[in-house]
Amino acid sequence: MLRNKSKLNLVRVGSDITYSSLKEIGNGLLGSFHGIIGEIDLAHHDSPMIDSIDAQLLTLILGEEYIGNTLGITDADLKIDDGDEFYNSILGGKNPTNDVAVVSTKKLTPSNMVSEAAIDLFIDRTTKVALHEVGHNFGLTDHASFKLAIDGSLCPMSRGEFNKFGYRGYVRAIVDGRGLNFCEECKYFLRSVYGWRRSQNGVIKDGLVSSSNNAIRTG
């Protein structure tokens, strides 16, 4: 159980994703975790231009720099050492030894990012994977089956069968099929453990503009 559940550090690792996109992802997380996360701090972690990085190493690096509930988003491929050379990278992961999770946008980015629709799809996909990983930070577990939320979309914690689809097919079938609302099973867990109530306003902080009610304010 998280010691400081009300705040999330949302960290851009490198510079591929824009701050405006990072804010949209943050607002999506606030909406889904309304009543649990009350504040999101946007931050930037300088990183060399690399094509891939060990996922566990990145969570340890971020765990040294940031305190508490933290999600890093990078455009680098997140590598894991599981003995499978084909499926040796992940869309996102959580370190069980700390409160840090990471997401890679490498396989979430549409092939052509020049249209508004493509940018919206990129933000939507990244938000859904981010929501899944932050869910793990709060103790939620994967649904191996296609668990539905009340709106008919897949619960954000639905994992499905990866090998059946391959990377590209998995993103389209599972990630794109997820919604932003949790299923009743996940809601019950959040209510039981964290006293979840969808009633609080959230705040995103990036030190640029100041306002209130799910908007931007200075730190």
166 contact partners, CB below 8 Å, separation of at least 6:
none
- In angstroms, rounded to a whole number, what is the distance separating the alpha carbons of residues 14 and 9? 15
- Cα–Cα separations (whole angstroms), residue 183 to 28, 116, 147: 17, 30, 7
Question: Terminal CA-to-CA distance of the chain, rounded, Å?
Answer: 26
**C-alpha closest to that of 45 among 14, 10, 74:** 14
Instruction: Tell me whether strands 52-54 and 92-94 are parallel, antiparallel or unpaired.
Output: unpaired
Strands, sheet with 52-54, edge to edge from the N-terminal-most edge strand: 52-54, 77-79, 89-90
Identify the residue whose tokens are 């946008």. Answer: 105
**DSSP three-state, residue 121:** helix
Identify the residue whose tokens are 């099929």. Answer: 177
- Ranges of each domain in the chain: 7-217
**C-alpha closest to that of 70 among 114, 34, 29, 106:** 29
**pLDDT per residue of the chain (219 residues) written in tens, 0 to 9:** 556 678 999 999 987 788 899 999 999 999 999 889 999 999 999 888 789 999 999 999 999 999 999 999 999 999 987 655 446 789 999 999 999 999 999 999 998 888 899 999 999 999 999 999 999 999 999 998 889 999 999 999 999 876 667 888 899 999 999 999 999 999 999 999 987 665 555 677 764 332 233 332 222
* Predicted model pTM: 0.88
170 contact partners, CB below 8 Å, separation of at least 6:
160, 162
Q: Quote the CATH superfamily of domain 7-217.
A: Collagenase (Catalytic Domain) (3.40.390.10)
Residue 143 DSSP code: B
- In angstroms, rounded to a whole number, what is the distance separating the alpha carbons of residues 136 and 143? 12
**DSSP three-state, residue 43:** strand
